[in-house]
Structure 1
Amino acid sequence: MEPKTAQSHVVSDHEADAVLYEKGATAEDADDMRRMGKTQETRRTFRSVTILGFCMVMLSTWEVVLATSVFALSNGGTAGLIWGYLIVMVGFGFVVASLAEMASMAPTAGGQYHWVSEFAPPTCQKFLSYMVGWLGVLGWQTGAATVSYLAGKQIQGLIKLNNPSYELKAWHGTMLIWFVLVICLVFNTFFSKKLALVEGVIVILHIAGFFAVLIPLWVLGDTSQSSGVFTRFEDNMGWGNLPLAVIIGLTGASGTFVGVEAGAHMSEEVRNAAYVIPRAMMWTWFGNGLLGWVMAITFCYCLGDTMSVLTTELGTPFIQVFLNATGSAGGATALTVIMLVIAIFACVAIMATNSRQLFAFARDNGVPFSKTFSYVSPTLEVPVNSTYMTLLFVVILSLINLGSTVAFMQVISLGVAAMLTTYLISISCITLKRLRGEPLLPSKFDLGRFGLAINLIAVAFLIFFWVFCFFPVGPNPTVVDMNWACLGYGIVIIFALVYYAVRGRHVYLGPVAVVTRTTRSRADMYPATD
């Protein structure tokens, strides 16, 4: 059989480009996909504004501050929440900048595990990227569990608010988690082609809702003295060590920024991704971060008696604060409904993100049944099987809530530890390349001469918070109150190692191997001429 001519390869390349352009890619997107050896299977429906809206709704920082305030208030008080949040926001700025630069260098749905493969030393890139891929899957899957649980708690709180005789039961909460998941599944399958438009509309509610909640709290609520709010550090959990209590509280604030790289996992559905994605990540961090800090201050001013809010019968402290501020169940209901709608669509965005991350990892043969999870529906143009897997995983995980809500919350908190690990390893890899003076890939978001300093600060910040992710919520914990995140984290690591030894090392090469192979094949296809 005669070898193919250069002309036949040119035609093949044009055909590949035609598919890319038909799916909304730019010439730069086409070049990036060719360099990374990836096929454009999804449609690029997101633009600058819509992906920014997607990221902001997914992170929902000011809403998460209210929903998770109980943790920071129990460990640090109002001053711990306000100043701790600001410290975490500034620290995450270095983390986000580092991740954004890598997202511009390699705009792929794989995100961290792909970046590790590209930037890690050749001797360990395969193993490190494989482990980061597993931790990324774990982090995003548990993220869906966290947000669907918080949304379910808000629904229970609304029922209790308007029907005081109602008794909050764990199995009710589990059923509500499933209800939220079904909504997320519908928007990620049947309405997948409208997802960019939907999230673009919801971001308007995200911003308008901020003022809709903020103004009534300031106007109607009984505010505290400034000196007390900004200086009252408290150890409500009884650690016996105030600085330690404040540090433990900081880990709750760190959870409000985990997932800030969500846009990177949607890269293959964003037009001009190398330019748009890093800027969407930075604006999400800055914009949502400021909204979150203002809301944290407002919430602390209107808190009143901390312990009465933390122990409210409504089960959700911020609903009690809404009730205290407005003086009516109707007013508190209206404000909570705003929070609830945003929470549900944040979960929609999280399900979309983690399905793309799982799809990308399966595409590189990183998980069992890779062909199944890397399948993209030709009609819906989304990885439907990965979406179904997210639904199944969260449903199974939610069964823990039937036995103990505390245990369920502790288990899903391992997602924060898993995500911080992926950030830490990927940023460490590019830091090492900079320390060695090795060339980096071109980027449309270049940190320049400040890159090394930014990376080093990000690494130090992540190491500090990673350690405290595994601390219990209070001293002398019982078996139920233990932070079982370390157990779940360890089980996933062990499973990944066993699978790697048995099969993974034989089928998983790491994205960089595909990049290298693609580069070589194109060099053979178009040999250099004098």
Structure 2
Amino acid sequence: MAGGKEVLAHEVGLDANSQDDRDMERLGKAQQFKVGRRNFKFYSILGFTTTLMASWESILLTSTYGLIDGGRAGMVYVYLASFVGFFASVISMAEISSIAPTSGGQYHWVSEFAAPRWQRFLSYLTGWLSVLGWQAAFASICFLCGTLIQGLLVFNYSGPEGYIYGYERWHGTLLTMAIAAVGTLVNTYGAKFLPPLEGIILGLHIFGFVAVLVPMWVMSPGQAPSSEVWTVFGNEGGWASMGLACLVGQLTPIFSWTGPDAATHMAEEVQNAALVVPWCMVSTALINGGLGFVMLVTLLYNMGEIADVLNPPSSFSFIPAVHHATGSVAATNGVAAIILVMEVCSAIGILATASRQTFAFARDNALPFSRSLAHVNRRTQIPVTSVLVSTIITLLLSLINIGSTAAFNAIASVMIAALFTTYILSIGAFIRARFQPGGIPPSRFSLGALGLPINVFSVAYLCFAIIFTFFPTAANPTPVDMNWSILVFGVVVIFAIVQYLGHGRLVYQAPVTQVRKTE
């Protein structure tokens, strides 16, 4: 990889703004965010992306999937294998983002690098999938925070003595709305404080990790044998083979790594974006990948028996696991509170990303009411309408949970398939561009001769992994336990195609038509 910390430190200097201007000129876009001086630098955007993905927190929150399908050893080796494929995908997109550092992200990349015959349609499809994927991501994280609060109430107020909390779906809906409101307030009234806030949140992400890790090791009544952690697999889901069970268990690491493209959707607010954004993506993957693995191993050694943590009343396996490790209700509540705070911070970043993706797509006249959605408030210099619309969508989706949690989960979980598809299309288009006369444009972050094999491997991994995001947790599921995300994903794709035929092909301004060739 070209560049490095020395280059990064040297180039993020006085000429950063002029370099950003040249990049925007090549992309054919006007600078609409923070005109004159962008306010995100390397550390603040690193905090933004690292806490948005919240990988070590997500490992604990989604551990149930891996424990059911794969067991202890399965979670370890699936995590390591998945990280290899995930990291290849991240550095592939990092190189592309260095060439085209735009809030449009994947749909712009597809437009610029796909075959001329298909680029307009595929770009439009990619844009819709990215917009809807990030909207679903915001609804999902808000709901996760709401149900975590409910899980803590169940943990603290259930038992033979005292008040027993009644777990109601409408409670979860109201809590989801409350988390969405917090994210909206920070992204509107607190927008100017977001860059320094993200730097502080990055510190909380690291210190919170230590605050959770140490008690689980120090207070644990005893660790599981290493032979059990590293060699004993499990198949509680009843799949036909242990290998298939482990592949289905990929959901735990996949959930933990959702959103590596977030940095590029903020690129037009990042100083020296063509260099900072790709290095931020790489750094985020390495930091979160490392923290996630250490937290995973900590959980597996100190959680107690698997049977004791599966199907808990709180719906979160990590709560009884931490309680076993610490032997303290107060410590368990403290760990859960840290995770809750970090997930709320993640929701703030996801809303910012969703609104910028919506803004960018509307800027190319691809969405209904594009003019309003692409408007940037002159005082706050953020797309306020896109922020508010993203919030309203989450509020409306949360109402579905009152009638059916399964239906809401199906809609929310479509984010993974939608975003993975955009990664596949953009990296696939980039592979094609490598074989065209003149090759790919020069970039300040380059994979060099390794670029093509890494790109091919990443597409193969993503195509393989996306299949298992549609699997239910266990074999022979009931209709309630079935994973309906493939149905919702199919509806989303059909919707995007219909939108293109009825609207997009007439008014959509493909980004490639505005890109300018530079020497």
Rounded Cα–Cα distance in structure 2 between residues aligned with 1:269 and 1:180: 25
After TM superposition, the structure 1 stretch with the greater mean CA deviation from structure 2, 276-285 or 34-43, is 34-43
Note the alpha carbon deviations across 1:134-186, whole angstroms, 9 max, x for none. Answer: 01011111111221122112211222233221122211111111110000000
Q: Which residue of the partner structure matches residue 174 of structure 2?
A: 175
Q: Which amino acid aligns with 1:120?
A: A
Moved more, 387-396 or 122-131: 387-396
Residues of 1 paired with 2:252 and 2:218: CA distance? 28
2:114 matches 1:120: yes
Cα drift, residue 200 of structure 1? 1.0
What's the secondary structure of 1:26's corresponding residue?
helix
Displacement after TM superposition at 1:25 (Å) = 6.5
Q: Does 1:411 align with 2:443?
A: no
SS at match of 1:515: coil
Mapped pair 1:316 → 2:316? yes
1:201 and 2:177 matched:
no
Q: Runs in 1 of length 4+ with deviation above 3 angstroms? A: 435-438
Q: How far, CA to CA, are the matches of 2:515 and 2:434 in structure 1?
A: 21
2-structure distance, mates of 1:364, 1:410: 29
Matched, 1:98 2:98: no
Listed one character per residue, the Cα deviations across residues 264-290 of structure 1 (whole Å, up to 9, x for unaligned) are 000000001001000000000011100
Q: In the TM superposition, what are the counterparts of 1:41-440 in structure 2 within 5 Å?
A: 41-43=32-34, 44-164=38-158, 165-221=164-220, 222-436=222-436, 438-440=438-440
TM-score by length of structure 2 reads 0.93
Q: Are the structure 2 counterparts of residues 484 and 286 from structure 1 closer, same or farther at C-alpha, using a change threshold of 3 Å?
A: same
Deviations 1:385-423 (A, max 9, x none): 111121111122222222332332233111100011000
The whole-number CA distance in structure 2 between the counterparts of 1:112 and 1:383 is: 19
User: In terms of mean alpha carbon deviation, does 445-454 or 402-411 score higher?
Assistant: 402-411
Does the CA contact (< 8 Å) of 2:183 and 2:348 recur in 1? yes
Distance 2:212 2:404 in 1: 32
Cα deviation, 1:343-394, whole Å, max 9, x if unaligned, reads: 0010000000110001000000111111111111111111111111211111
Aligned counterpart, 2:8: none
SS at match of 2:464: helix
Cα pair distance change 1:313/1:27, threshold 3 Å: same
CA distance in 1, matches of 2:497, 2:261: 26
1:4 corresponding residue in structure 2: none
Q: C-alpha distance in 1, partners of 2:377/2:448?
A: 41
- Paired with 1:329 and 1:180, the residues of 2 have a C-alpha distance of 25
The superposition leaves residues 419-439 of structure 1 with CA deviations (integer Å, 9 ceiling, x where unpaired) of 110000100011112234542
Q: Which amino acid in structure 1 is aligned with residue 466 of structure 2?
A: W
The letter of the residue matching 2:495 is F
Tell me the SS of whatever aligns to 1:311.
coil
Equivalents in 2 of 1:255, 1:367: separation in Å? 28
Give the structure 2 partner of residue 26 of structure 1.
Answer: 17
Secondary structure of the corresponding residue to residue 399 of structure 1 = helix
Structure 1 distance, partners of 2:373, 2:499, is: 17
% of aligned pairs identical?
Answer: 44
Task: State the AA in 1 paired with 2:189.
Answer: F
Q: Is the 8 A contact 1:151 1:344 kept in 2?
A: yes
Contact 1:413 1:485 in 2 (8 A): yes
Q: CA deviation at 1:112?
A: 0.3
| Superposed CA offset, 1:78-120 (max 9, x none) | 1111111111111111100100001100000000000111111
- Work out whether 1:38 is the aligned partner of 2:32: no
Conserved? CA contact 1:404–1:480, under 8 Å: no
Q: Deviations over 1:201-230 (max 9, x none)?
A: 111110001010001001112310110011
Q: Is the 8 A contact 1:251 1:465 kept in 2?
A: no
C-alpha offsets along residues 444-483 of structure 1, whole Å, 9 cap, x if unaligned?
Answer: 1011111111101101101101222222222222222222
1:128, CA displacement in angstroms? 0.7
Query: Once the 2 structures are TM-superposed, how far is the Cα of residue 317 of structure 1 from its aligned partner?
Result: 1.5
Q: SS at 2:444's partner residue?
A: coil
Q: CA RMSD for the aligned pairs?
A: 1.6
Structure 2, unmatched stretches of 5+, are 1-14, 159-163
> Which ranges of structure 1 fall in alignment gaps of 5 or more residues?
1-23, 524-530
CA distances 1:20-78 after superposition (whole Å, capped 9, x unpaired): xxxx9610000011111111111221001111111101011000000011111111111
Change (3 A) 1:437 1:459: farther
Distance 1:163 1:255 in 2: 29
Q: Distance in 1 between matches of 2:74 and 2:85?
A: 16
Q: Distance in 2 between matches of 1:307 and 1:407?
A: 28
CA distance, structure 2, for counterparts of residue 143 and residue 207 of structure 1: 23
- Aligned residue type for 2:325: A
Counterpart-to-counterpart distance in 2, 1:304 and 1:403 = 36
Amino acid at match of 2:467: V
Partner secondary structure for residue 481 of structure 1: coil
Aligned counterparts of 2:270 and 2:456: Cα–Cα separation in 1: 30
Instruction: Give the secondary-structure state (helix, strand or coil) at the position aligned to 2:472.
Output: coil
Contact 1:435 1:452 in 2 (8 A): no
Q: 1: distance between equivalents of 2:65 and 2:402?
A: 22
Whether contact under 8 Å (1:46, 1:271) holds in the other structure is yes
Name the stretch that deviates more: 160-169 or 324-333. 160-169
Report the AA paired with residue 253 of structure 2. A
Flag the structure with larger Rg: 1
Rounded to whole Å, the distance in 2 between the matches of 1:361 and 1:373 is 9
Please give the alpha-carbon distance, in whole angstroms, between the structure 1 residues aligned to 2:211 and 2:99.
Answer: 39
8 Å CA contact 2:303–2:322 kept in 1: the answer is: no
**Distance in 1 separating the partners of 2:331 and 2:73:** 28
1:240: how far off?
A: 3.0
> What is the alpha-carbon distance in structure 2 between the residues aligned to residue 419 and residue 438 of structure 1?
30
